[in-house]
Amino acid sequence: ATSARNTAAFDEATKIISVYATVPVYIAMGGADVEADSSDHYYPDGIYYDFAIEGQATAHYTHIAILRADGTDGTVYISEKE
């Protein structure tokens, strides 16, 4: 499997995104060239969670990359919140 990422950058005003995955995945955040691999953050299926993509100690992340964890295809839903 290969890593996938959002094609359009998050709005520069967005500071929080919500993520929900139907299968377990690995997640990485960064710029337009970010890729996820099995050493990145493991995210279980069935959990709705908010992630800060900008903060006092964090530069603004423009993209999120996803890699399925167990080889099963699924869907990841991402919402820009604020």
Which pLDDT score, from 0 to 100, does residue 57 have? 79
Amino acid at 41: H
DSSP string, 21-80: ESS-EEEEEESTT----TTSEEE-TT-EEEEESSBTTBPPP-EEEEEESSS----EEEEE
Which pLDDT score, from 0 to 100, does residue 51 have? 94
pLDDT for 13-55, tens place per residue? 999 999 999 999 999 999 999 999 999 999 999 999 999 999 8
DSSP state of 46: T
Q: What is the enclosing helix (H) or strand (E) of 82?
A: none
pLDDT for 54-70, tens place per residue? 988 778 999 999 999 99
**Residue 63 · residue 9 · CB < 8 Å:** yes
